[in-house]
């Protein structure tokens, strides 16, 4: 059954829709700067730096090994992958997954993350719900089922109203996620106002331990290096070179 | 004495941009940097804003190169006042001590930095350069090896190590370092050429073949590398002149050497065209190639 189109007061657009957009955007920018102020220094240990560089070297060996002579390539491959004392076989880093309870720095990081991101969202969402309540704000362009009514129509007590008509609180949440791309335009990539990225980080959570990663990374590199073969790129370099005269012009 | 801006008729923005270009491309033209930088600092300090700190650093290092201790000291004072606890500024203090040959004091300073932050590469590298300045090459080599064990990716360090090994005539290890550099920079013709030269110096049939191949690779990457062209000619002639090679190898190498010689001739001809002495210089090139021709004695 086609519902007659509801005509909303244009004041709603002026005084509700636009202010919510501005509020959300400004809060996001403020969050970004606050997160920069509260950022703690991440001190890398010597071991972590060294390991990351070793992994890079091994990867380069795999990719560009064809530019060095076969003997040298085999020598390096042997150094890394040898059964008994190759680097990847021999080095086992201590795996200490930093659980939030035991590792104080992780705890404070998590707390700071929560304070700067989740708390404002809840506070402002509640405030908007309280201020801009009692009327319909906007209509989502796709039809929704009745189950969404209590969630999206907070404060509107109309049983027969189509679930597509939503209140200001839902418009606020829509903005929070929608303005992400605006933030990357204005604040540059990797900004502190990016809400959904924070939530993703929290989900992958405390188990993003570097130590565990290192051992797995070593194993993965070992396998990849085992599979690489040496195809010398310089096999026919003289023939290639002498097929035509040298280009001696140019700057 | 006229200032730079009057002599060359440049504005302060152009001077600042020139300094930035020299900084980003790692030029070591210290006298020019001192002249331009000194004027920029004394006349236009207020207009530079926050750029001034990095210019202080750049000018200070250039001043140390030119023995301008007064200028270096004033730059250092400004930086110390602005960044009192910075490791980067401590490194500059250490460099000044090195310039005054107060190596013990410099070493103590760098050790304190390293105690504070063990991952600080700048301090470790300065300690190694102190050893080099004192002529203690073997110690420098040992320290550099330890450094590279931790920081395998540092290309500057690999290059420095290869130079040290060449000075000590340990060509096999120098070749190893250059191989690392070639892997990380496969399109850099200079590393290929240096590697080929080391292999050529090592001598022996296998190394000569490798040298020839890498000279060819360097030429392929940059057609105008004359050193590589001469190297190709020499290594090919060397192999061809050896009595113990098979006929096919000899024939191939004679062909390569002939091709290299013709390219050398072409290069000198192109370079000299339009000049009167071209005929004489062409004759000189012919004679040079003849004299470089290797015969087994």
Mean pLDDT of A181-193: 68
CB contact under 8 A, A234 and B216: yes
Give Dmax over CA atoms of chain B in angstroms: 75
Determine, yes or no, domain membership for B85. Answer: no
Compare CB distances from A69 to B151, B210, B219 and report the shortest one's residue. B210
Taking CB atoms and an 8 Å cut-off, how many pairs form between chains A and B? 80
- CA–CA separation, A40 and A110 (whole Å): 12
Compare CB distances from A246 to B176, B256, B263 and report the shortest one's residue. B263
Determine, yes or no, domain membership for B107. Answer: no
**Where does the pLDDT of residue A2 fall: very low under 50, low under 70, confident under 90, or very high at 90 and above?**
very low
- pLDDT at position A95: 55
Torsion of CA B1, B7, B11, B14, to 10 degrees: -110
Compare CB distances from B186 to A46, A67, A248 and report the shortest one's residue. A67
CB contact under 8 A, B219 and A60: no
CB contact under 8 A, A245 and B266: yes
Contact A16/A132 with Cβ under 8 angstroms?
Answer: yes
Among A241, A244, A249, A251, most B C-beta atoms within 10 A, so best to mutate, is A241
- CA–CA separation, B132 and B205 (whole Å): 34
The answer, yes or no, to whether residue B294 has pLDDT greater than 60, is yes
ipTM, 2 decimals? 0.78
The tens digit of pLDDT for each residue in B137-151 reads 999 999 999 999 889
The tens digit of pLDDT for each residue in A56-92 reads 888 888 888 888 888 889 888 888 887 766 777 766 7
CB < 8 Å to B224, chain A:
246-248, 250
Question: Domain tally for chain B?
Answer: 1
Determine, yes or no, domain membership for B111. Answer: no
The tens digit of pLDDT for each residue in B43-94 reads 888 888 888 899 999 999 999 999 999 999 999 999 999 998 889 999 999 9
- CA–CA separation, A152 and A166 (whole Å): 5
- For residue B69, the distance in angstroms to the closest alpha carbon of chain A comes to 35
Determine, yes or no, domain membership for B43. Answer: no
Q: Between A144 and B135, whose confidence is greater?
A: B135
- pLDDT at position B58: 92
- pLDDT at position B207: 92
CB hemisphere CA count around B231 (13 angstroms): 28
Strand, helix or coil for residue B135: coil
Q: Between A17 and B202, whose confidence is greater?
A: B202
Domain that holds residue B256: 218-296
- pLDDT at position A1: 39
Compare CB distances from B220 to A44, A72, A237 and report the shortest one's residue. A237
- pLDDT at position A202: 52
**Where does the pLDDT of residue A234 fall: very low under 50, low under 70, confident under 90, or very high at 90 and above?**
confident
Note whether A74 contacts B: Cβ–Cβ < 8 A: no
Q: Between B196 and A122, whose confidence is greater?
A: B196
- CA–CA separation, B178 and A82 (whole Å): 23
- pLDDT at position A188: 66
CB contact under 8 A, A44 and B119: yes
- pLDDT at position A99: 52
Instruction: Quote the crossing angle between the two packed helices B87-99 and B51-65, to the nearest 10°.
Output: 20
Q: Give the residue carrying structure tokens 């303005």.
A: A179
Q: What percent of chain A has pLDDT over 90?
A: 0
Strand, helix or coil for residue B151: coil
Query: What string of DSSP letters covers chain A?
Result: -PPPPPPPPHHHIIIIIHHHHHHHHHHHHHHHHHHHHHPPP-PPPHHHHHHHHHHHHHHHHHHHGGGS-HHHHHHHHHHHH-TTT-HHHH---------TTT-HHHHHHHHHHIIIIIHHHHHHHHHHHHHT-SS--EE-SS---GGGHHHH-TT---TTS-TTEE-HHHHHHHHHHHTHHHHHHHH-SS-TT-HHHHHHHHHHGGG--HHHHHHHHHHHHHHHHHH-----TTTTHHHHHHTS-------
CB contact under 8 A, B267 and A69: no
Compare CB distances from A250 to B183, B224, B263 and report the shortest one's residue. B224
- For residue B267, the distance in angstroms to the closest alpha carbon of chain A comes to 7
- pLDDT at position A133: 75
- For residue B111, the distance in angstroms to the closest alpha carbon of chain A comes to 16
Determine, yes or no, domain membership for B268. Answer: yes
| pTM, full prediction | 0.74
Residue B181 backbone dihedrals phi, psi, to 5 degrees: -65, -40
């Amino acid at each position: 059954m086609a519902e007659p189109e509801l005509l909303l007061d244009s004041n709603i657009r002026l005084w509700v829709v636009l202010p919510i957009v501005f509020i959300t955007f400004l809060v996001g920018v403020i969050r970004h700067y606050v997160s920069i102020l509260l950022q703690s220094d991440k001190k890398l240990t010597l071991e972590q730096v060294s390991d990351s560089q070793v992994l890079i070297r091994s990867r380069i060996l795999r990719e560009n090994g064809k530019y060095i002579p076969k003997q040298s390539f085999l020598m390096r491959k042997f150094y890394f992958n040898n059964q008994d004392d190759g680097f990847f076989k021999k080095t086992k880093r201590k795996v200490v997954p930093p659980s939030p309870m035991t590792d104080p720095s992780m705890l404070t990081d998590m707390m700071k993350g929560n304070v700067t991101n989740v708390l404002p969202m809840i506070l402002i969402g509640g405030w908007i719900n309280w201020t801009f309540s009692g009327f319909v704000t906007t209509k989502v362009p796709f039809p929704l089922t009745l189950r969404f009514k209590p969630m999206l129509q907070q404060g509107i007590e109309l049983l027969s109203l189509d679930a597509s008509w939503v209140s200001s609180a839902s418009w606020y949440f829509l903005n929070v996620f929608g303005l992400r791309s605006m933030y990357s335009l204005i604040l540059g990539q990797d900004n502190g106002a990016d809400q959904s990225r924070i939530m993703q980080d929290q989900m992958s959570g405390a188990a993003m331990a570097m130590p565990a990663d290192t051992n797995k990374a070593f194993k993965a590199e070992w396998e990849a290096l085992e599979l690489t073969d040496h195809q010398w790129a310089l096999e026919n370099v003289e023939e290639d070179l002498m097929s035509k005269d040298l280009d001696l012009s140019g700057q | 004495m006229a200032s730079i801006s009057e002599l060359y008729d440049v504005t302060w923005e152009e001077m600042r941009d020139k300094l930035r270009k020299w900084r980003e491309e790692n030029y070591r033209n210290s006298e020019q940097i001192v002249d331009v930088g000194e004027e920029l600092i004394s006349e236009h300090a207020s207009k530079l804003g926050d750029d001034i700190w990095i210019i202080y650093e750049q000018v200070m290092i250039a001043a140390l190169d030119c023995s301008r201790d007064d200028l270096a000291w004033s730059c250092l004072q400004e930086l110390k006042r602005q960044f009192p606890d910075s490791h980067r500024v401590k490194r500059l203090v250490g460099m000044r001590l090195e310039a005054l040959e107060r190596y013990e004091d410099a070493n103590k300073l760098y050790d304190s930095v390293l105690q504070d932050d063990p991952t600080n590469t700048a301090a470790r590298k300065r300690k190694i350069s102190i050893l080099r300045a004192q002529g203690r090459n073997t110690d420098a080599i040992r320290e550099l090896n330890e450094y590279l064990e931790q920081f395998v990716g540092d290309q500057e360090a690999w290059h420095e190590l290869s130079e040290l090994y060449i000075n000590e005539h340990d060509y096999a290890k120098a070749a190893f370092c250059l191989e690392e550099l070639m892997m990380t920079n496969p399109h850099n013709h200079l590393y290929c050429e240096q590697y080929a030269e080391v292999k050529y110096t090592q001598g022996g049939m296998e190394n000569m073949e490798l040298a020839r191949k890498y000279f060819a690779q360097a030429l392929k990457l940059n057609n105008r590398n004359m050193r590589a062209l001469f190297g190709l000619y020499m290594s090919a002639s060397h192999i061809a002149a050896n009595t113990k090679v098979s006929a096919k190898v000899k024939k191939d190498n004679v062909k390569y050497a002939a091709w290299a010689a013709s390219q050398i001739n072409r290069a000198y001809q192109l370079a000299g065209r339009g000049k009167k002495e071209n005929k004489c210089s062409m004759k000189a090139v012919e004679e040079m190639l003849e004299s470089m021709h290797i015969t087994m004695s």
